């Protein structure tokens, strides 16, 4: 209570000083001119005098107590909390799920929760940023977060397919090398040849690959043609049937009339004595 009383007296003394030293006897024709007059009085009288309590001029103390400029960046008013990433590389905030890069699945990160943003850090490294949603039961996934996992799965599928191709026959490795040298996309031919092995069987495809290697025919189209030709049934020659000569033609012809020749002979004799 005593401190409040003393503070109140200091304020009242300051008001009295302004009245006695600035406003007393001041005549102004226009109220707008009071601000320039007050500025002149502060610079020339009030702030250059030696203060009775501090024994210093107010303008010297103003320079020491001058407020520093604010930081150009806004104050980071966020809530920090550790979070656990699940096996589906998701965290849960406000009833919604947000993705992080797939390599951080089942790990611990630091969540910086802003009113409209969510930032996730691995120590000092920013690994994910989302717009904060106040809906419920929504899943927000960024394409970049799942892309490495898709590439990894694709590589695993390609490797499994290539191992199936190599297991078809001993010459599969050499056949693949020839595909690399002659074709722009050997993976396409490997995929088609493995598909043919599911359709015709591994043994048939292995035999076709060996034949194609012999004829230096390197492509999935050659393998398919060989398999189709081998599946096509061949026409076996029919049995040879021998027939008797009398069975060839059984025709009944009338006997020739030779009397005409006799008549011609008689006429020739009568004309030649």
For residue range 6-19, list pLDDT tens digits in order: 566 676 777 888 88
Could you give the CA distance from residue 143 to residue 101 in angstroms, rounded to a whole number? 9
pLDDT band at residue 3 under the 50/70/90 scheme: very low
- Residues 15-33: what's their mean pLDDT? 79
Instruction: Give 191-216 pLDDT, tens digit per residue.
Output: 999 999 998 999 999 999 988 888 88
Could you give the CA distance from residue 192 to residue 183 in angstroms, rounded to a whole number? 14
Could you give the CA distance from residue 179 to residue 63 in angstroms, rounded to a whole number? 82
Both tokens assigned to 205: 């495809």
For the chain, give percent helix, strand, coil, nearest 5: 50, 15, 35
pLDDT of 247? 54
Could you give the CA distance from residue 6 to residue 55 in angstroms, rounded to a whole number? 19
Sign of CA pseudo-dihedral 30, 36, 42, 48: negative
- Residues 131-157: what's their mean pLDDT? 91
Both tokens assigned to 81: 């909390």
Instruction: Give 57-70 pLDDT, tens digit per residue.
Output: 888 888 888 888 88
- pLDDT surpasses 80 at 184: no
CA diameter of the chain: 197
Q: How far is CA 248 from CA 36, 95, 152, 185, 239, in A?
A: 145, 99, 79, 65, 18
Instruction: Give 89-138 pLDDT, tens digit per residue.
Output: 999 999 999 999 999 999 999 999 999 999 999 999 999 999 999 999 99
- pLDDT surpasses 80 at 272: no
Task: Give residue for tokens 């078809």.
Answer: 168
pLDDT of 269? 47
pLDDT band at residue 231 under the 50/70/90 scheme: confident
pLDDT of 142? 93
pLDDT of 240? 57
Could you give the CA distance from residue 104 to residue 126 in angstroms, rounded to a whole number? 12
Q: How far is CA 136 from CA 1, 86, 98, 194, in A?
A: 54, 18, 12, 47
pLDDT of 87? 92
pLDDT of 15? 81
Burial class of 107 by CB neighbour count within 10 A (0 to 12, 13 to 18, 19+): middle
Question: Of all residues in the chain, what percent carry a pLDDT higher than 70?
Answer: 83
Quickly count: other Cβ atoms within 10 Å of residue 271's Cβ.
6
Q: Mean pLDDT score of the chain, rounded to an integer?
A: 83
- pLDDT surpasses 80 at 175: yes
pLDDT of 132? 94
Burial class of 145 by CB neighbour count within 10 A (0 to 12, 13 to 18, 19+): buried
Please tell me the least confidently modeled range out of 38-47, 69-78, 111-120, 156-165.
69-78
Question: Of all residues in the chain, what percent carry a pLDDT higher than 90?
Answer: 34
pLDDT of 267? 54
């Amino acid at each position: 209570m005593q401190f409040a009383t003393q503070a109140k007296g200091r304020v009242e003394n300051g008001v009295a000083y302004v009245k006695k030293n600035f406003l007393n006897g001041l005549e102004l024709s226009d109220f707008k001119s009071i601000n320039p007059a007050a500025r002149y009085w502060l610079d020339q009288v009030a702030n250059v005098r030696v203060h009775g309590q501090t024994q210093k001029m107010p303008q010297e103390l103003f320079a020491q107590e001058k407020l520093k400029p604010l930081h150009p960046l806004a104050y980071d008013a966020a809530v920090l909390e550790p979070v656990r990433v699940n096996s589906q590389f998701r965290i849960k905030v406000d009833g919604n799920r947000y993705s992080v890069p797939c390599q951080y699945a089942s790990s611990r990160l630091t969540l910086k929760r802003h009113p409209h943003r969510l930032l996730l850090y691995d120590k000092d490294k920013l690994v994910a940023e989302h717009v904060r949603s106040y809906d419920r039961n929504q899943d927000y996934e960024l394409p970049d977060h799942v892309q490495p996992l898709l590439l990894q799965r694709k590589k695993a599928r390609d490797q499994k397919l290539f191992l199936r191709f190599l297991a078809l026959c001993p010459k599969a490795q050499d056949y693949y090398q020839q595909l690399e040298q002659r074709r722009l996309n050997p993976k396409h031919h490997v995929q088609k040849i493995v598909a043919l092995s599911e359709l015709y069987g591994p043994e048939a495809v292995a035999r076709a690959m060996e034949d194609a290697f012999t004829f230096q025919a390197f492509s999935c189209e050659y393998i398919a043609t060989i398999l189709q030709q081998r599946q096509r049934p061949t026409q076996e020659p029919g049995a040879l049937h021998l027939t008797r000569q009398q069975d060839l033609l059984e025709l009944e012809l009338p006997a020739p009339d030779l009397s005409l020749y006799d008549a011609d002979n008689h006429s020739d004799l009568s004309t030649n004595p």
